[in-house]
Amino acid sequence: MNQEERERFYLGKFLDALAFSCQKIDRGADPPDFVIHSSGAKIAIEITEFYSDAKGATGDPRQLVEREWDKLRDVIAKAREQYPELKEINCHILFMELGVPSRRDHQKFADELVGFVIKNLAMLTEESQDFKILSNDFPLLKKYVAKIRLNKAGCYITWDWNHSVGFVGLSEDELSGVISRKTGQDNSENSCSETWLLIIGDGGEGISQSMGLPHIDELNSFGTVNGILGGSSFDRVYIFQYLLDRIFEWRRGRGWLLVRDRER
């Protein structure tokens, strides 16, 4: 999906989750992204996605590194498909840092990985074993990988990396950064009765979009965030944790409330 398609997708899911009835959604002047028509009222809405501030080894934002890993994983999957003996092997790659080889080296990295696993195949059992890359026959593995964890699979087969997990949480600095980028522009339209900001978190883009489980008391204690919102043009701000189906709402003069939680 392109940017507008993604925004429309999340907006539709958000309105459904909020049980908010609208007759029509128009593309806005950017800003705002959209104008919602509901019961004779018009609401300007700006949409943004949350991403962690975490950086990779080369300074790239984490979400970019995750996307590069997705591309590398596809190359690895195709490389190992050629070897039937690898169909029952789990492989967990522990990279030294949050970073993967450049795209020009993806195929060579995948070939080295497959070769390394095949070389150690006879030693594998159902118990996980860690292997360090000591041989100069695998220069890219040696450069990027601390160790490779291998075992014969009981049932479910995975070839993954160690950065599929990590710190998950929503810091005040990260949230204030997301909001500040939107408060520096005029998101209002003269014909609209309200202006909303919709922040999408946990949108399925990996750990970089994960907010954890922020608490209402925590959000209401964020003095910098709430100060920025108080001086902004937004009448309401929503945090929509898409995969968790949770919605937080900030309203001027009232603060934050948890207005939807699938677990409740």
Helix/strand/coil (H, E, C) string of the chain?
Answer: CCHHHHHHHHHHHHHHHHCCCCCEEEECCCCCCEEEEECCEEEEEEEEECCCCCECCCCCEHHHHHHHHHHHHHHHHHHHCCCHHHCCEEEEEEECCCCCCCHHHHHHHHHHHHHHHHHCHHHCCCCCEEECCCCCCCHHHHHHEEEEEEEECCCCCCEEEHHHCCCCCCCHHHHHHHHHHHHCCCCCCCCCCEEEEEEEECCCCCHHHCCCCCCHHHHHCCHHHHHHHHCCCCCEEEEEECCCCEEEEEECCCEEEEEEECCC
Q: What is the per-residue pLDDT for 231? A: 92
Q: What is the per-residue pLDDT for 30? A: 82
**What digits encode the pLDDT tens for the residues 236-259?**
999 999 988 999 999 988 999 999
Q: What is the per-residue pLDDT for 73? A: 92
Q: What is the per-residue pLDDT for 156? A: 65
- Sequence-distant (≥ 6) Cβ neighbours of residue 157 within 8 angstroms: 87, 88, 89, 90
Q: What is the per-residue pLDDT for 16? A: 94
State the first-to-last Cα distance of the chain, in angstroms, to the nearest integer: 32
- Residue 74 is encoded by which pair of tokens? 């596809």
Q: What is the per-residue pLDDT for 1? A: 76
Q: What is the per-residue pLDDT for 263? A: 64
Q: For the chain, list residues with pLDDT below 70.
A: 53-57, 154-156, 164-169, 185-190, 204-205, 207, 263-264
Q: Distances from the Cα of 12 to the Cαs of 15, 66, 180, 196, 245, in angstroms?
A: 5, 26, 24, 15, 13
Between CA 174 and CA 49 the distance in angstroms is 12
Q: What is the per-residue pLDDT for 163? A: 77
**What digits encode the pLDDT tens for the residues 52-78?**
766 666 777 777 888 888 899 999 999
pTM of the model: 0.67
Q: What is the per-residue pLDDT for 235? A: 94
Contact 237, 250 (CB under 8 A): yes
Q: What is the per-residue pLDDT for 223? A: 92
Q: What is the per-residue pLDDT for 69? A: 87
